[in-house]
Amino acid sequence: MIWSIAWRNIWRNKLRSLIMLSAIAIGLFAGVFSTGFYKGMADTRLKTGIKTEVSHIQIHLPGYTVNSEPGRYMENTGSIVEKISRLKEAEGASRRILAECFFKTAHGTRGIRIIGIEPDRESKVTDIFERVKEGNYLDDDSRIPRILVGDKLREKLKLKLNSKVPVDIVDINGNFSSRLYKIGGFYSTNNTGYDEMTAFVKYEELRSQLDLPEDVAHEIAIYLKPDTDVENVRQKLAGEFSGLEVKSWREINKDLAYLTESMDQYMLIFVWIILLALCFGIINTMLMVVLERTKELGMLMAIGMHKSRVFIMIILESVFLSLTGGLFGIAIGYGVIKIFEKRPIVLEMMRGFEQYGYSAEVYTSLPLYMAFNIAGLVVVLGVVSAIYPALKAIRLSPVDAIRTE
C-alpha cells in the first residue's frame, strides 16, 4: 500500500518531477559515459603497452634492467624459448638482443634503441608485424640487412623506403662497429614516442654486429593466452629458471601498473562527485515536497498513521525519483558506450598524447558489473537524500500541521 502511495505522490507535481528526473538522468548519463570513455582510453593504452611494447612477462639476466650493457646476456636461450613455448598458458615466446645505437642519415643523427628479433617468434609475442604501414616485416632475404623503422622516426629524419642508413654501435668488446642497413619497412603504433625511439632488425644481424656468441639473448618476451593469471605463470617461471630474473609487465612498466590500479578509483570518485551534486538537488526537491504537504502529513499522523510509515513513505518517494531517473540515464549511457565500442571516437586534441602511448581513437568500454554498481549507488543516493526531509516530516506536530494554510 505505502509503495503505491509513494509512487503516486511523485506525480502529483508532474513538471517538477520531470525536471528532477531529467536532471538525474542527464547527470548519470554523463557519469556513465565519462566512466566508459576513460576506461576505454586506459584499456587501449594497456593493450598497446602489453601487446606492442613489453608483453606479459620478460626474462633477463639479474640486474639487466638496471644496467643494460650488451655484455650482460643470457646463454642457451634457444632451449629456454622452446621450453616456454610448450607451456599451455603461453601464446608465444621470443628472444631478443637489445642495443643503443646511433642512426645516421643525411638529415641528422639520432640515438635510438635497436632490437634484434626472430620475426616468426616475435609475431606471436608482439603485434608490430600487424602495424607495418609500408614495406615488410623483416621477412625477406637481402644482401644488405633490412631494418624496420617507426613512422615517427621516418618523419623526423625524412627517411625513404629502401634507402640505406649506417647504424653505429659499440660492441661487447668496446670496439666501434658500423653497419649499413636498408630500410625495409615502416611501422606505426599508438605510441609515437616508442615509434620514434625503436627500430627492429633480424636477430642474427645484430648478434653479429655486437660480436655476441651464438644462442644468447638479452631478453626473452612471453605473451600469454587470454584470461591467464600472469602472476601465477611468473612465479612458475621464476621457480623454473631460478638463476634468471623473471618480471611481469607490472614490474617492467610502472606507469601501466599505476594506470590500471588507479583508473577504477578515479572513475568511482568521478561518479561520486556527480551523485553528490545530484544529492543536493534531490534534498531540495524533497524538502519542497514536505513543506507543500505539511497539512496533509499532519492529518495523516492525526488519524493514526505511525511516524515510521511517514518516514518510509518519504524515503520511498526519494528512492523512486532517483532510481527512475538514474536507471534511465544509466541505460542510455551504457547504450551509447556499446555503440562506441565498435566505432571509435576520434579526438584531434589527443594527438599530442600519442607520444605517451594514448591513442587519439578511443573505443569506450564499461563492464556490465560497473553499471550495476552505479545503479546501487543511485539507490543509496535516494535513501541518503531523503533522510533529512523525512526527519523534518516526522518532527511535525499534527495539531500545528493541520492549522497550516
Q: Give the pairing of strands 90-105 and 108-117.
A: antiparallel
pLDDT digits (tens, 9 = 90+) for 197-221: 899 999 999 999 999 999 999 999 9
- The predicted pLDDT at position 356 comes to 58
CA terminus-to-terminus distance, the chain: 28
Q: Which is higher by pLDDT, 235 or 8?
A: 235
Structural contact between residues 239 and 143, judged by C-beta atoms closer than 8 angstroms: no
The three cell numbers locating residue 246: 623473471
Report how far residue 310's alpha carbon sits from residue 289's, in angstroms, rounded to the nearest whole number.
Answer: 13
| pLDDT value at residue 44 | 80
HEC per residue, 254-292: HHHHHHHHHHHHHHHHHHHHHHHHHHHHHHHHHHHHHHH
CA angle at 134 for the pair 131 and 138, rounded to the nearest 5°: 75
Contacts of 229 (CB under 8 A, 6+ apart): none
392 CB neighbour count, 10 Å cutoff:
16
* pLDDT at site 401: 53
Distance CA 57, CA 237 (A): 10
Domain ranges of the chain: 2-49+257-403, 57-227
Q: Express as a percent the part of the chain with pLDDT over 70.
A: 90
d(CA 285, CA 263): 33
Counted residue by residue, the chain has a size of 405
CB hemisphere CA count around 364 (13 angstroms):
19
Dihedral angle computed from the Cα positions of residues 340, 344, 345 and 350, in that order, rounded to the nearest 10 degrees: 140
The secondary structure of 13-27 as a DSSP string is: SHHHHHHHHHHHHHH
Q: Residue with C-alpha cell 561520486?
A: 272
Query: CA-based diameter of the chain, in Å?
Result: 103
List, for residues 334-393, the tens digit of each pLDDT value.
Answer: 899 988 888 887 776 555 555 555 666 778 888 888 888 888 878 887 788 878 777 777
Enter the DSSP assignment of 279.
H
What share of the chain has pLDDT > 90, as a percent?
Answer: 25
φ/ψ of residue 168, rounded to 5: -100, 130
> According to the model, what pLDDT value does residue 233 have?
93
Q: What is the mean pLDDT of residues 294-305?
A: 69
Q: Which of 68, 113, 119, 112 is nearest to 95 (CA)?
A: 119
| Residue given cell 608485424 in the structure block | 129
Least Cα distance to 25 among 317, 316, 282 occurs for 282
Is 81:90 a contact under the CB 8 Å cutoff? no
In this structure, the strands spanning 219-224 and 245-248 are unpaired
Whole-angstrom distance, CA of residue 353 vs CA of residue 42: 13
Q: Residue 222 pLDDT > 90, yes or no?
A: yes
Contact (CB, 8 A) for 128 and 61: no
Segment 13-64, tens digit of pLDDT: 778 778 888 888 888 888 888 888 888 888 888 888 888 888 999 999 998 8
User: Cell triple for residue 202?
Assistant: 633480424
pTM: 0.77
**Cell digits for 137?**
616485416
Q: What is the pLDDT of residues 111-141, one digit of tens each?
A: 889 999 999 999 899 988 888 888 888 877 7
